[in-house]
Amino acid sequence: MDTGFNKKYDVIIIGCGTSGIFAGYELVKKRTDLHILMLDQGNDIYRRKCPMIDKKLKDCIKCIPCSIMRGFGGAGAFSDGKYNFTTEFGGWLNDYIPDNEVMSLINYIDEINVEFGATTEVYSTFTEEAKKIEKRALENDLHLLQARVKHLGTENNLKILQRLYEHLAERINIMCNTEVTEIIPQDKGYHLETSKGLHLECDYLIVAPGRSGAEWFTQQCRNLGLLLINNQVDIGVRVELPAKVFEHITDTVYESKLLYRTKQYGDIVRTFCMNPYGHVVAENVDGIITVNGHSYTDPELRSENTNFALLVSSRFTQPFNEPYQYGKRIASLSNMLGGGVLVQRFGDLVKGMRTNEHRLGQSFTKPTLKATPGDLSLVLTKRHLDNLIEMIYALDKIAPGTANYDTLLYGVEVKFYSSRLELSGELETKLKNMFAIGDGAGVTRGLSQASASGVHVARRILERIG
């Protein structure tokens, strides 16, 4: 590793999320002589502390930078670490690379994760018990996506990232709390301006902005004259109910990715990020408080509830080109009404009745997140609500109890995806030797494909270096 921070590097990686981490890992594994710099606007893995989690604060105090979304490990650092072995969901990497190559990359990264402490236990939708669940779902017009999945666990996921950080820090310069303010193409390579006044140069540039850097990356692309294609934004709620309701499904496949096309509008609604015996948590996205879920492997840290997201996908056409802002504005309504996350009983929502402290206190389902009781119909559009309610009734047919009066709905949950660039099969932009990877580049939306995109680009750069 270099001593100090040089101004000139062979490769600079903007973003220390999972895609950037594995790009760096692969580069130094094959070429120990390369001068590599990784930059991130957030903290290193040891300084990433969220007061709402660490000190159990009720309200977000809006730390700058937000440790939930930014820093080494990216938005996935505090996730429960679901690692999916599939090309059916988790991104669009197979738009650029053949399915078999994507799966080879996903398996390769899994081997690395195991070396750094990941579990070897795998859940699958290909067992006989899982096929029975799939059949029951199809009988009710629900479609179970096929995959194998590992649950790393919220606490273990963080430990794996700490070990990866130590491994990389011995071989690569890692500069945290540093924002890139401008990317300037040169005759050969790139010049970067940073918030610390540093002027950096490199031959190869990998941009891995992550979800929190999606808006930043969009603006940089516009400055560089790179064309963008609108990606979708997923808006919905986090559902929390007694774990026994979904136990027959989660014990078999752990996480069920179920798709449903609503009869009223023909929109797709999907389950996402299912957390058996988990906890609902709040997260800060550029000052907007949204909701998410965690699940621990340690039995002592488990709750009696299961939570999962229900998301409605919206893809926009011209002239509208701000899906990211659209999602943030809806989420901000929840913050305006409740000072953060709102929670409502399903029965109250259907009856058009606001949940208050008294009604929430009567609920048989006890919330794992201290949220403000309220009325989600004042936040989400009618179309979103109609789709979500119809989906809950559909799920009730394969998991009776989903549509119980006391099922809790937290709002809002938003999944942002950066506008997609026009990229080659090597994930190279129109600018030579500038590559874009991961969730923030609109290429992936999950740990496995994000990691795979990083390794894929690292190998292409190594081929060019020779």
* Contact residues for 367 (Cβ-Cβ < 8 A; gap 6+): 240, 280, 343, 360, 408
Helix (H) or strand (E) holding 26: helix 18-30
Share of the chain above pLDDT 90, in %: 71
Residue 127 domain-assigned (yes or no): no
Examine residue 113 and state whether it is found in any structural domain, yes or no.
yes
Q: Are residues 255 and 398 in the same domain?
A: yes
Q: Are residues 208 and 313 in the same domain?
A: no
Averaged pLDDT score across all residues of the chain: 91
Q: What is the DSSP track for 131-175?
A: HHHHHHHHHTT-EEPP-EEEE--HHHHHHHHHHHHHHHHTTSEEE
Whether residue 100 is found in the same domain as residue 180: yes
What pLDDT is attached to residue 169?
97
Q: Does a structural domain hold residue 128?
A: no
- Whether 74 and 159 share a structural domain: yes
Q: Do 405 and 284 fall within a single domain?
A: yes
Rounded Cα distance, 403 and 409, in Å? 11
> What are the pLDDT digits (tens) for 396-414?
999 999 999 999 999 999 8
Contact 201, 192 (CB under 8 A): yes
The answer to the question of residue 131 being in a domain is: no
Tell me the average pLDDT across 64-85. Answer: 83
Is the pLDDT reported for residue 116 higher than 50? yes
The verdict on residue 246 lying in a domain is yes
Q: Are residues 340 and 431 in the same domain?
A: no
DSSP 216-243: HHHHHHHHHT--EEPPPEEEEEEEEEEH
Which residue type sits at 49? K
List CB contacts of 139: < 8 A, sequence separation 6 or more. Answer: none
**Within a 10 A sphere around the Cβ of 361, how many other Cβ atoms?**
9
Write out pLDDT tens, residues 336-384.
988 889 999 999 999 999 999 999 999 999 999 999 999 999 999 999 9
CATH of the domain at 221: 3.50.50.60
Q: pLDDT, tens digit, for every residue of 146-186? A: 999 999 888 899 899 999 999 999 999 999 999 999 999 99
Q: Are residues 94 and 186 in the same domain?
A: yes
Question: What is the band of 56 on the pLDDT scale with cuts at 50, 70, 90?
Answer: low
Structure tokens at 34: 């390369």
Higher pLDDT, 56 or 259: 259
Q: Rounded to two decimals, what is the model's pTM? A: 0.87
Per the CB < 8 A criterion, the answer to whether 172 and 6 are in contact is no
Residue 302 pLDDT greater than 50, yes or no: yes
Q: Are residues 182 and 294 in the same domain?
A: no
Q: Please, which pLDDT band fits residue 248 given cuts at 50, 70 and 90?
A: very high
pLDDT at site 3: 47
Domain housing 317? 233-416
- The pLDDT of residue 183 is 97
Inter-residue contact 92 to 444 (CB < 8 Å): yes
Does pLDDT of 417 surpass 90? no
Give the whole-number percent of the chain exceeding pLDDT 70: 93
Asked, for residue 184, whether it belongs to a domain, the answer is yes
- The whole-angstrom separation of Cα 99 and Cα 155 is 31
Q: Is the pLDDT of residue 49 over 90?
A: no
Evaluate whether residue 374 is within a structural domain. Answer: yes
Mean pLDDT for 234-238 is 94
* Contact present, 96 and 423 (Cβ < 8 Å): yes
Task: Kindly state whether residue 138 falls inside one of the protein's structural domains.
Answer: no
